[in-house]
Structure 1
C-alpha cells in the first residue's frame, strides 16, 4: 500500500476509535473523517459525492429521508400508542413475553419492507410500550433491531446487502426464500431463547403499571382517524411498490421519497389544523443522515484505495479454492469487516471478488454455496456493532431523540454474543445442507 492508503487506514481507525469511545459526537467524527479523507487525497469530490460504491449512496439517504417523513406524519395519528397498548394487552404486561412479541412483530415484516423501514415503524412503538410499563427501553430496542437484522436476511429485499448480492449473482427473490428463510427462522427462535438470559435484568414486572396499562382502551389512542386512513393508503401503495420495484423499474429511494412527500402534502392540505409541516420536517433524524453521509465517504475512500479489495482477496487466498473451506472463510471472514465498516459498502466492494471465486470454481451449481455463505456472513454481522447495519444507526438516532443513549459498547456487549451465536449456527447450516445432505445451491 502507498502512503495515501496508510493515511486512509489511520484516519478510519482513528475515527472508529472516537466513535467507539464516544469522546467526540459520532456525527462530528464521521463528517470530520470524511473531510480529512478528501484533504489527504484518499478520495475525490467526484467519487465522494457522485459514486454509489465509492462515496455517498444517495439512494440509501433518500430512502431513509422518505421513510422518516412518513413516520413523522404517521406518529401524529396516535397509531403508535394504539399498537403499544395492544402489545401490552397481548403480553398481559409480562416483560419477557412482551420482548418476544416485539421481536416477532419486528422480524415478520422486515423481510418484506427492508429492515430500515421496519425499525422506523417499530422503534417508536417499543419506546411507548416500555415507558407505559416502566421498563428499561434500551434492551428492548437492541433486541428488536437484532431481530430486524436477522429477519431481513430472509429475502432479496429485506436487507440492502442481499439486493447487491442478488444483482451480482443473478439470484431471484425465490432463491433467497428457499436458501435463506430456513436458517432465519431457526435464528429467530434462538434469539427469543437467548434474550431470556441476555436481557434478564430488564424484566422487571410492575403489577400496578401493568394493571393500569391493561385498563387502557387502545381505540382511544387514535387522535386523528382521517389522517390515519390517508397514511394507511399511502403506506400500502409505498410497500406494494417496494415489492414490485424491479417490475416497475423504480428505485426504492424514489418510491420512499415520493410517498413521504405525497403524504406530507396530503396531510397539510386535508388536515391543516392539526399538522404543521415545519414540525414534521423537524422530526426527521437529520443527525442520522449526516452520520451516514460521512461514513459513506470514509468507507468509499477505503474502497477507492483498494484496501477493502485486498481484504477480500486475502480471504479468498486463505481458503485455497476448496468449496467447504472457501464457504467458511467467506462466512466467518465477512463478520469483522462488515461489523467495522457497515455491511452495505463491504458487500458492494467484495461481491466482485466472490464472483471471480465462483467462476474460478467452475461456475457450477455447487459453487453457488459461496454466495449464500457470503450473504449470511454479511447480513448476520449487522448485529455486531452500532455501525454494522443501517438499521442500527437509525435506532440509535431514534433512541437519542427520545432521551435514551445507547453507547457503542452497550450495543456490542449484546451484539457480539448474538452475532457469535448466529454465525456458529449459520456455519453448521451451510455445512449440513450443502455438504452433508448435498442439497443444490
Structure 2
C-alpha cells in the first residue's frame, strides 16, 4: 500500500507543479506532508535521511552572500560593463553570458554561479528592454553543461567523487571536461539560432543610452563593497581548494555568509538581508526532497536501478549505455541529486557480479545525471534556483515552455555522450587481446 501511495502522491504533485496553477513550493510541501500523514515514512526519517540539508544550507548561504553584495552595486557594474563590451548586441551578449556561466559552473559549482549571474542578466535585460527568457534558459543550460566538467561543478559529481576515492579532481577534468566543451560549443550555437528572431528586435536608442552610461557610477564605494567582495572571493577560493583541504562546501559557504553578516551589521541589518532570501525556492527543495524520499523509502528508485543489471545481463556496453540514458531521463524528472544517491551503492554492487573496471559506469552516471538536469525546471538544483530568482523579479519561466527547449537539448546531449562513452571507454572492452 505504501508503494501505491508514494507513487500516486509523487505523480499528482508533479502534475500540479507542471500546471503551475498553485505555488510549486506549496505543492511539494503538501505532497511531503501527505507522505508523513499516510505513514510512508516518519518525520525523523524525513529530517535525517531524505531532506538534503547540505544543499538547502548551501543555497541559503549563497543567497545571503549575494543579497549583501548586491547592495554595493557590483552586479549592475558587471552587467553594464558586459553589455558595453559587446556594444549591446543581443546574440554576442547571449554567448558571453553563456561562456561566463559555463566557466563559473566548472570552477565553482553551478548553484553558486547562477546565484551570481541571474541578478546580472535580469538587470541587463531590463536595461536593454530585451526578453529575459532566452538568457535565463542559456544560463540554466550552461550551468549544467559547465558543471559537468569538474568534480565540484555539479552536486552529482561531488557525490560520485566522494564515493569513489580514485576519481579525483584531475580525473573529472580528463574524462568529463572534453565532452562538456564540445556540448558548450554545440548548444551555444543552437541557442543562438533558436533565439535569433526574438533577440533581433532591439531599439537602437537603448543601445545608445547604454553606451553613454558610466558603469563606475553604479558602484557604492563604502566599507561594505570591500568587505562583501573580499569574503565572496574568499568563499570562491575555498570552493576551489575543496579537493586540497576537503572542507565541506556547505561549511565554507555558511562560514562566509555568517562572517559577512557579522562584519556588515552596521551597514546592513540582518533582518533586511533575510527578507531577500528566496524562501520559496528553499522550501520547494525541502518538499521535493520529501517527495523523492517517498519513492526511495518504498524502494522504487532502488528497484529501478537494480533492474538495469537484470536487463543488460551484466554486459558492460549495454549496462553503461542504459545507465547513461536512464540517468539522463530520470534526472530530469526526479532531480539528479537523490537519483545519484540511490544509484551509487547499486553500481558498487556490480563489482560482485564480475565487473572489474567500473569507471565506464561512473562516467555514464555522471554524464547522464548532469546533462539530464537540463530536461525540466526541477531537473537540477541550478534550474530551481534560476526559476526562483526569475519569479521574484516577475520574470517567471513556464514549466512546459522550458521543456520545449530542455528536452531536445537533453536528447542531443545524450546522443553525443553515447558516442563519447562508446568510443572512449566501451570499444576497448570489445577489442580482442
1:67 matched to which residue of 2? 62
Q: For the residues of structure 1 that align with 2:70 and 2:63, how far apart are their CA atoms?
A: 11
Q: Is 2:185 the partner of 1:183?
A: no
Count of aligned residue pairs for this structure pair: 429
2:249 matched to which residue of 1? 252
Q: For the residues of structure 1 that align with 2:361 and 2:173, how far apart are their CA atoms?
A: 17
TM-superposition CA deviations, 1:282-321 (whole Å, max 9, x none): 1000111111111111111211111000111122222221
Structure 1 residues 173-252: aligned runs within 5 Å: 173-203=169-199, 204-252=201-249
Alpha-carbon distance change, 158 to 208 in structure 1, aligned in 2, over 3 angstroms: same
Asked if the contact 2:144/2:154 (under 8 Å) is kept, the reply is: yes
2:157 matched to which residue of 1? 162
Q: For the residues of structure 2 that align with 1:402 and 1:358, how far apart are their CA atoms?
A: 49
* TM-score, normalization by structure 1: 0.94
Q: For the residues of structure 2 that align with 1:125 and 1:346, how far apart are their CA atoms?
A: 31
Q: For the residues of structure 1 that align with 2:316 and 2:219, how far apart are their CA atoms?
A: 56
Q: Is 2:82 the partner of 1:87?
A: yes
Structure 2, unmatched stretches of 5+, are none
* Structure 1 segments (4+ residues) deviating >6 Å: none
1:427 matched to which residue of 2? 418
2:310 matched to which residue of 1? 317
Alpha-carbon distance change, 227 to 257 in structure 1, aligned in 2, over 3 angstroms: same
Structure 1, unmatched stretches of 5+, are none
Q: Is 2:295 the partner of 1:298?
A: no
Alpha-carbon distance change, 359 to 110 in structure 1, aligned in 2, over 3 angstroms: farther
Q: Which moved more, 1:69-78 or 1:164-173?
A: 164-173
* TM-score, normalization by structure 2: 0.96
Q: For the residues of structure 2 that align with 1:412 and 1:195, how far apart are their CA atoms?
A: 14
Asked if the contact 2:105/2:113 (under 8 Å) is kept, the reply is: yes
Classify the secondary structure of the residue corresponding to 2:264. Answer: helix
2:130 matched to which residue of 1? 135
Asked if the contact 1:119/1:394 (under 8 Å) is kept, the reply is: yes
Asked if the contact 2:169/2:243 (under 8 Å) is kept, the reply is: no
Following TM superposition, by how much is the alpha carbon of 1:217 offset from its aligned partner in structure 2, in angstroms?
Answer: 1.5
Q: For the residues of structure 1 that align with 2:406 and 2:204, how far apart are their CA atoms?
A: 30
Q: For the residues of structure 1 that align with 2:188 and 2:391, how far apart are their CA atoms?
A: 25
Classify the secondary structure of the residue corresponding to 2:254. Answer: helix
Asked if the contact 2:316/2:426 (under 8 Å) is kept, the reply is: no
Asked if the contact 2:102/2:145 (under 8 Å) is kept, the reply is: yes
Following TM superposition, by how much is the alpha carbon of 1:210 offset from its aligned partner in structure 2, in angstroms?
Answer: 1.1
Q: For the residues of structure 1 that align with 2:408 and 2:346, how far apart are their CA atoms?
A: 29
Following TM superposition, by how much is the alpha carbon of 1:246 offset from its aligned partner in structure 2, in angstroms?
Answer: 5.0
Q: For the residues of structure 1 that align with 2:243 and 2:389, how far apart are their CA atoms?
A: 30
Following TM superposition, by how much is the alpha carbon of 1:418 offset from its aligned partner in structure 2, in angstroms?
Answer: 1.2
Asked if the contact 1:316/1:329 (under 8 Å) is kept, the reply is: no
Asked if the contact 1:93/1:205 (under 8 Å) is kept, the reply is: no
Following TM superposition, by how much is the alpha carbon of 1:164 offset from its aligned partner in structure 2, in angstroms?
Answer: 1.1
1:49 matched to which residue of 2? 47
Q: For the residues of structure 2 that align with 1:209 and 1:438, how far apart are their CA atoms?
A: 59
Q: CA RMSD in A?
A: 1.6
TM-superposition CA deviations, 1:63-94 (whole Å, max 9, x none): 11110000000100101111111111121111
Classify the secondary structure of the residue corresponding to 2:71. Answer: helix
Alpha-carbon distance change, 89 to 176 in structure 1, aligned in 2, over 3 angstroms: same
1:114 matched to which residue of 2? 109
Classify the secondary structure of the residue corresponding to 2:355. Answer: coil
Classify the secondary structure of the residue corresponding to 1:385. Answer: coil
Asked if the contact 1:113/1:239 (under 8 Å) is kept, the reply is: yes
Asked if the contact 2:360/2:426 (under 8 Å) is kept, the reply is: no
Following TM superposition, by how much is the alpha carbon of 1:355 offset from its aligned partner in structure 2, in angstroms?
Answer: 1.6
Asked if the contact 1:110/1:151 (under 8 Å) is kept, the reply is: yes
Q: Is 2:300 the partner of 1:267?
A: no
Asked if the contact 1:238/1:256 (under 8 Å) is kept, the reply is: yes
Q: For the residues of structure 2 that align with 1:362 and 1:288, how far apart are their CA atoms?
A: 41
TM-superposition CA deviations, 1:414-437 (whole Å, max 9, x none): 111211111111111111222347
1:326 matched to which residue of 2? 319
User: Among 378, 402, 405, which residue is 2:369 paired with?
Assistant: 378
